[in-house]
Amino acid sequence: MQETRSQILKLIKLQYSMTVNELAEALSISSMGVRQHLAILEKDGLVEFHREKPKRGRPIHIYQLTEKGNNLFPLSYESFALNLLQEMGRLDGCGLINKVLRGRVKSHTESYARRLEGKSLAEKVKILAEIRDEEGYMAEFSEDDGDYLLVEHNCPIVSIAEEYPHVCETELALFRRSLGQKIHREEHLMNGSHKCSYRIPKEQKEDKD
């Protein structure tokens, strides 16, 4: 990202909300220059504004980060989840961890089902890729003559998967239950690949295992 826009995002993150004039003063650039950068950030969905009417003068635009903008900054969700699993392991061995992972598959299957209901297999795989992309997996859908393909270029739970490989199998179970189809994992980040890829045959009987 262009350096000035990156600085604008950091300043708004630190202050929670800022005006054009406040940003211009902090960055030592013109208000017009700040507005140009903010217009690009707004177009990219990283900032938004609301208007406040002062006692005197024209309304002031107050800029804040959107959820997408906030997500540019480091989060500790993964390490927090890993620490929780480690603590559960100390309390109850693998039993409690496996129970939690099974519960996760169940709840995610129900959540996915609401978006996949009534769709064709092709639509289901495409929507599943969209869901996974929203969840941070950088997923994409494609197809060839005989199969649909789901590829994930990122794993936001990689640290968890490294310590608890069973997580990957629950992910595969989640896909199978959500699509009601057999799925073959061809590439796997945990096996040294740079992505996880899944192949779903276009012609097959339902398989909900």
Given pLDDT bands bounded at 50, 70 and 90, which one contains residue 207?
very low
Residue 94 has pLDDT above 90, yes or no: no
Residue intervals of the chain classified under CATH 3.30.1380 are: 83-201
Q: What is the mean pLDDT of residues 7-25?
A: 92
Phi, psi (degrees; rounded to nearest 5) at 188 = -145, 125
Q: Where are the alpha helices (DSSP H) in 17-120?
A: 20-27, 31-43, 67-70, 77-116
Q: What is the mean pLDDT of residues 18-46?
A: 95
Yes or no: say if 164 and 97 are a contact pair by the CB < 8 Å rule.
Answer: yes
Yes or no: say if 202 and 147 are a contact pair by the CB < 8 Å rule.
Answer: yes
Given pLDDT bands bounded at 50, 70 and 90, which one contains residue 74?
low
Assign a CATH topology to domain 83-201: Muramoyl-pentapeptide Carboxypeptidase; domain 2 (3.30.1380)
Given pLDDT bands bounded at 50, 70 and 90, which one contains residue 209?
very low
Q: What is the mean pLDDT of residues 66-81?
A: 77
The residue that leads in pLDDT, 8 or 1, is 8
pTM over 0.85: no
Assign a CATH topology to domain 3-70: Arc Repressor Mutant, subunit A (1.10.10)
Q: What is the mean pLDDT of residues 190-208?
A: 81
Which among 121, 118, 139 has a CA at the least distance from the CA of 181? 121
Report how far apart, in Å, the C-alpha atoms of 65 and of each of 41, 49, 204 are.
Answer: 9, 9, 46
Given pLDDT bands bounded at 50, 70 and 90, which one contains residue 43?
very high
What distance in Å separates the CA atoms of residue 193 and residue 89, rounded to the nearest whole number?
28
The residue that leads in pLDDT, 79 or 66, is 66
Residue intervals of the chain classified under CATH 1.10.10.10 are: 3-70
Residue 71 DSSP symbol: T
Report how far apart, in Å, the C-alpha atoms of 147 and of each of 133, 140, 169 are.
Answer: 20, 14, 21
pLDDT at 90: 86
pLDDT at 76: 60
**191 SS3 class:** helix
Residue 122 has pLDDT above 60, yes or no: yes
Q: Is the dihedral of CA 134, 137, 142, 146 positive or negative?
A: negative
Q: What is the mean pLDDT of residues 115-122?
A: 95
Given pLDDT bands bounded at 50, 70 and 90, which one contains residue 1?
low
Residue 46 has pLDDT above 90, yes or no: yes
pLDDT at 82: 83
Q: What is the mean pLDDT of residues 41-55?
A: 92
pLDDT at 75: 61
Report how far apart, in Å, the C-alpha atoms of 102 and of each of 11, 40, 98, 166, 189 are.
Answer: 42, 43, 6, 10, 22
Residue 206 has pLDDT above 70, yes or no: no
**49 SS3 class:** strand
What distance in Å separates the CA atoms of residue 17 and residue 94, rounded to the nearest whole number?
45
Lowest mean pLDDT among 79-83, 114-118, 162-166, 186-190: 79-83
Q: Phi/psi zone of residue 176: left (φ > 0), alpha (ψ -120 to 50 degrees), beta?
A: alpha
50 HSE (CA, 13 A, CB side): 5
